Each structure stands twice: as C-alpha cells, then as structure tokens.
Amino acid sequence: MGLGNCYADPHPRTEHSLSKGLALVESNSVLGCTALSHSMEIRHMRVKSKLFLLLGLLMVVALAAAGCALPMAADEHTHEDGADHTHDEEMPDGGFVIGVSNTLVGNGWREQMICAIKAEATASGMVDEVIVVNRNGGPTEQIADLEGLISQGVDAIILNPTDREGLNAVIEAAIAQGIVVVAVDQAVTAEGAYVATNDQTAYARLGAEWLFETLGGSGKVVEMRGIDGVPADTDRHNGFMEALANYPDIEVVASTFTGWDPSTGAQQALDLITTQEIDGIWTSGIDYPVVEQFQVADKPFVPIVGADNNGFVAQLLDLADEGLVGAAVTNPPAIGAVGTSIAIDALLGNNPPHETILTPKVFATDNTDGLNAIYAPDEQVGWSTYVDIEPFTHYNGSADVSACKAPGE
C-alpha cells in the first residue's frame, strides 16, 4: 500500500445519516412546540383567576422547555452499554510508542536498520518514543525481549526474527492485546503479523547466477553464509542451491557460517584463499573484508558476490583496474523503515497488506553508473546508501538515517 497519504484520516464523517437525523429532530421539535402552543390557548380561556393564570403560564413554560428540546436521533452504532458510538469517531492521531527487537549487535547492517526505524518514526510525526532492545541472542532471548516490550505497553513491535515459527506464541499474544507486530528482513508465520522483507531467496539466486555465468558455467566456488538456522540464511541458501542446480559444472568446495560478523568472515576468507584453489566466492553480505584478505595475502582477485555495502561498492569501483570483478546485490537495511511505515499505517486503521517483499537489484562492475549511483564517499563502509524506498520512506535520505535520532532524542 502506498503511504503518500497514509497518515490522513481514512474514515471521513458520514454526512448522509447525520442530515436525516437532523431532519427528524426538526420535525419533532415543530410538532412539540405547536402542540404546546395550542394547549396554552385553551388554558388561557378557561382560567379566569389571575393566580391560576400565573400558575398556568408557569406550567406552559416548563412544558415548552421539555417539548421543544432536541431529541437524540437513533444511531445504528449505539452500543448496548448506552454509549453513543457514531460514524464521527476519530482515528488515533499519533503519540505511538514503537518497540524494536534486534538480536545481532556489532553488525553494521543491523545498526543501520535500527537507525532507519528511528528516522522514519521521527519523519512520520506520529511516534512519541522508540524503545530498542538490542543484544546478541537466539529465540529464547528474543522471546524474553518481546515479553518485556509487551509489558511496557508499546503500540507496535518491529522485530528482526531469529526464527520463522519459534516466536509465534509471543507474537500472537502481543497481537491479541492489540499490539501491531511487523517482522522485517526475515519472515515469521504468526497469524496476524505483518511481514516486510527483502526477497532473500532472490538475493542469493541472482548473485549466484551472476557468479556462475561470470565463471563460464564451471569452476570451484565458496558459499559464505550467515547464521545457521535463521530464516534469512535458510532462504538465501535455498536460493543459492536453486541457481547451482542449473550449473552442473560448478563445484562448491567450501561452505562457511560467518555469523554476519566482518572479523569472522575475514579470517575464514584468509584461510580459504591461502589453502585452497578457488575460482569465485559468493557471500551473504560479508564482502569488503573478503576483498581485503586477497590484498593481505597478495593473491589475485577472483569474482566476488556481496551486498550493497558502501565499502564493497567502493572496492568494485576503485579496484576494477587491479582486476577485481564483482556484483553488489541490494539488501537495504531501510527495510526497517518500511516496517515502521507499515506499523503506523496499521495503527491508523488503514489496513496495509500483511506481506511486503522488495525485489533485489544487481550492480556489477560492468555497470559503473549504477555503482556510482549507490556509492556515498562519506558513509560508513558497512552501511548501505540504498535508503529511499518509495512509497514507504519519508525521511531526508542518508542524512536522516545516519543521524539515527528517534523522536525526542
């Protein structure tokens, strides 16, 4: 759903039923006042005593006040408790509190995801506070974190899930309490949850296909994965294997789990390129440290697939003359901002779609214009500059995301 006007009231006043009610009121009022006027004339004729005349006039005044008062028109939305709930009820006008659950600390991608959430919350003007629970952990730790956010009375929760199904009970408990829950980057299967992800299967498949084609359909490659068991890693591995099935002469000589940690990935890459014959490397986003290890080991570059990390994009531009060939596949951390927009949209009663999937793009070394377009010389090496995702984001590009300021900060 587009969010260009998502913060407007989607339930305008219903004038039709209001006009009919006023017409009924006006008719009843005229009849009541006419009847009382007639009653007053009769009393005046029959009462001859000044005392009775005075009393009669007082009674007429009292009856007129009661009869000419506007009666309440019946409304089809009046509840049994007697409260008058009409079409004119206003939707929430903001003041929301958003909780964020992240379970991977020290990763540039996750840091930027959180900053994008804060930037979008600030830009929306609808959020008063963003509460971030940020630590390393698995499903058990994340369940505890989610329970903590629920107990703090947040209006919405944005989480990067550690498990596709293992968090369902606590997510559904939050939803049952009226909390909007949005899983970003990775999917969950909890009923009622919103999901906003980059297409992780396509991310791996597109990058692997580029690598296998660049190698001419044959060669020895390494698959450098993320964290074993988390949804994004599983989806990416499946995408990698889908591509591999079409290239029988490609041999996977090693598969590692980097934990999406740059130092871990760097050490693994150094060990591999100094001990094995390798023709190409596919990475799940730990890319620029891998390139650096070829320089450390003084080894010739091989084709490398990575993400749209600013440091890797710079390497693809700067080291092309030294033989580096590679492809950056988009996986924007701004998916956090997309999730924030969806959460606000849902809180405002606009019924956004429950699933939003972004399609990756591939920027290879033969597309210098594209690489230059997504490169930011002043940005952190582990951050993406692909931060504007229409129609969801409303902040001022990388400047607002880099500021990393939530409302009130």
How far does CA 322 lie from the centroid of its chain?
A: 40
Task: For residues 21 and 165, state if they share a domain.
Answer: no
DSSP-based three-state secondary structure for 353: coil
Q: How many CB atoms lie within 10 A of CB 92?
A: 13
Residue 244 and residue 255: Cα distance in Å, rounded? 13
Residues with Cβ within 8 Å of 346's Cβ and at least 6 positions away in sequence, in order, are 156, 180, 182, 194, 352
Q: Are residues 243 and 298 in the same domain?
A: yes
Is 57 in the same domain as 110?
no
Of the chain, the percentage scoring pLDDT greater than 90 comes to 75
Tell me whether residue 362 is in a domain: no
Among 42-46, 79-83, 257-261, the range scoring the smallest mean pLDDT is: 79-83
Look at 57-66, 271-280, 326-335 and tell me which has the smallest mean pLDDT: 57-66
Residue 156's nearest CA partner among 189, 129, 187, 137 is: 129
Alpha-carbon dihedral sign for residues 365, 369, 371, 377: positive
Residue 88 lies in a domain: no
- Greater confidence, 64 or 150? 150
* Structural domain contains residue 34: yes
Residue 88: band (very low, low, confident or very high) from pLDDT cuts 50, 70, 90 = very low
Task: Tell whether 166 and 189 lie within a shared domain.
Answer: yes
**1 pLDDT higher than 60:** no
User: What type of residue is 203?
Assistant: Y
Strands 180-184 and 218-225: unpaired
> How far, rounded to the nearest angstrom, does the alpha carbon of residue 267 sit from its chain's CA centroid?
34
**Res. 29 pLDDT band, cuts 50 70 90:** very low
Is residue 9 a part of any domain in this protein? no
Return the residue matching tokens 């956004």: 352
Out of 53-57, 189-193, 241-245, 283-287, which region has the weakest mean confidence (pLDDT)? Answer: 53-57
Find the domain containing 321 and state its range.
200-329
Query: What is the C-alpha radius of gyration for the chain, rounded to an integer number of angstroms?
Result: 32
Binned at pLDDT 50, 70 and 90, residue 26 comes out as very low
- Segment 380-405 shows an average pLDDT of 94
Strand order through the sheet with 180-184: 127-134, 96-102, 156-159, 180-184, 194-198, 355-358
Q: Do 211 and 311 fall within a single domain?
A: yes
210 plus 323 within the same structural domain? yes
Contacts of 265 (CB under 8 A, 6+ apart): 224, 258, 283, 286, 289, 290
CA–CA separation, 327 and 145 (whole Å):
37
Contact indicator for 239, 273 with CB cutoff of 8 Å: no
The Cα–Cα gap between 112 and 103 comes to 14
Q: Find the angle CA(115)-CA(116)-CA(118) to the nearest 5 degrees.
A: 65
**Which residues lie across from 251 on neighbouring strands?**
220
Is residue 244 located within the same domain as residue 170? Answer: no
pTM here is 0.76
DSSP 266: H
Whether 369 maps to a domain, the answer reads no
pLDDT score of 195 more than 80: yes
Residue 3 in tokens:
């969010």
Q: Coil, helix or strand for 385?
A: coil
DSSP annotation of 249: E
- Which position has the token pair 């909390």? 179
Both tokens assigned to 51: 């005392």
DSSP state of 321: G
Residue 90: predicted pLDDT: 59
> Does the residue 270 lie in any domain?
yes
Do 233 and 206 belong to one domain?
yes
Q: Are residues 250 and 323 in the same domain?
A: yes
What lies within 8 Å, CB to CB, of 75 at 6+ separation is 17, 21, 84, 85, 86
Mean pLDDT value of segment 274-298: 98
Find the angle CA(258)-CA(262)-CA(265) to the nearest 5 degrees: 40
Instruction: List pLDDT tens digits, range 126-181.
Output: 999 999 999 999 999 999 999 999 999 999 999 999 999 999 999 999 999 999 99
Residues 107 and 171 in one domain: yes
Q: Are residues 54 and 168 in the same domain?
A: no
In a domain, 3, yes or no: no
Shared-domain flag, residues 140 and 193: yes
Determine, yes or no, domain membership for 364.
no
Range scoring the smallest mean pLDDT among 31-35, 114-118, 404-408: 31-35
Using N-to-C axis directions, what is the helix angle for 310-318 and 288-297, rounded to 10°? 50
In this predicted structure, the answer to whether residue 80 has a pLDDT above a threshold of 70 is no
Confidence of residue 5 (pLDDT cuts 50, 70, 90): very low
Number of domains observed in the structure of the chain: 3
The residue-averaged pLDDT of 111-124 equals: 98
